Amino acid sequence: MEATEYGYEVETILPNPGQDPSLKSGDTIVAIEGERLLGLAEEDIDHVFGVHFRHGAALLLLSSEELRNAAQSKGQMEDEGVAESDKRKSDMEHEATVRIPVGRATAWQLDEATAANVSNDLAIVSEKFGLAARAHFGDHGMESVILTGFPSAIAQARPEVVGILSFYRDGQLHKASEAPVEAAAGPAPITPMDTASLELPDHVRDVRQFQYHDHTADIIVHAWGTSLQEAFAQVCVGMFNYMTPLEKVGIAKTVEVEATGHDLLDLLYHLLDEFLYVFATEMHVSRCIEILSFDEHKFSIRARGYGEKMDLRKHEQGTEIKAITMHMMKILAPDFMLTEEGRGSRDADGQMSDFPFEAYVLLDI
């Protein structure tokens, strides 16, 4: 006999006198002397059967056909239950993808053992929260963790993933190294002011001065303003609006970021990257951007974002932005133009009469 999840399965019947003629190979003993074997662990089946086994012991049998029918019915009920559960969930939620960067414009160069540990930790997160959590590697190393699943599961898993990244960043990565992805990382963001509700200051304008231009698999945000700092702010607003329509985003919290660069293009890159990092780690969506300080000569900027934490029950999920790029970035002022090729004069043709400053940024989506 062989112990199974249902009890003792009869494999072979010896041709000895006294065997019960109703007993057939494939039958399963599910109880003996009123003691259940069904559902017991193998060692428990052995113990219970051994204690009660004797000549004339009462056995409860299931034929192979009865057992097969019962198993099929059970499987069908479980499948229907899962399908119904999935249907209820799919009626309310659709799968989403969220990218959590390992740091600002950095990648982790992991040794084989550390990479295996990270993968194992993310596998545990996947199983625990019922989603897919995986490390994303670029040319320079591990750049982010990608979560794919229902928004409710992602919201539950996000703090744990951030904690895992913090562990490796603060502990294990002393043994590894970080490499720049496109440019040096800027300073850490200032601690945000958290409040239940906010009123937008009178001097902060809730406007949309941008448009989008398609570019192969990417998107270009073209923004404009009466000043360079307003154009910078509107590029940031355009980036957030591409991730989720800002009409449904309230103003309940602020975040502040600082950035520096070696020129204006680099400064704009880092400003956007700071806000994208805050979104990835805190899910904060900025509806409006206020430039608190802007030094065009030392190439430093400090900005405040007004908005709230993204909630997929309220906010529509737009397109994920993977990274900011320097490719095709362009800044236009009344008397000059900055591009990847350098600084040059600007043609007066095509200038906006009311908005002399413009900026173009290509976003990797």
Interacting residues of 101 by C-beta distance below 8 A, sequence separation 6+: 143, 144, 276, 277, 280, 281
Give the span between the Cα atoms of 292 and 303, in whole angstroms: 5
Please tell me the total number of residues recorded for the chain in this structure: 365
- What's residue 58's pLDDT? 75
pLDDT for res 27: 80
Please give the pLDDT value at position 240.
95
pLDDT (0 to 100) of residue 81: 56
For 188-217, what is each residue's pLDDT tens digit? 444 444 444 578 888 999 999 999 998 877
For the ranges 92-96, 305-309, 360-364, the lowest mean pLDDT is seen at 92-96
Mean pLDDT of the chain: 80
Contacts of 142 by beta carbon, 8 Å cutoff, 6+ apart? 102, 107, 108, 109, 110, 115, 118, 135, 136
Q: What is the model's pLDDT at position 199?
A: 82
Domains of the chain: 2-67 (2.30.42.10), 96-180 (3.30.1370.10), 210-364 (3.55.10.10)
Banded pLDDT at 329 (limits 50, 70, 90): very high
Over 70: is that where the pLDDT of 178 sits? Answer: no
365/355 Cα distance (integer angstroms): 28
Report pLDDT digits (tens) over 77-133.
Answer: 555 555 555 555 445 455 667 778 877 666 788 888 888 888 989 999 899 889 899
Which is it for the CA torsion 327, 294, 186, 290, positive or negative?
A: negative
pLDDT score at 302: 95
Q: Does 183 score more than 70 pLDDT?
A: no
Mean pLDDT in residue range 177-189? 45
| Distance (Å, whole) CA 39 – CA 65 | 19
Of the candidates 97, 125, 118, the one whose C-alpha atom is nearest the C-alpha of residue 322 is 97
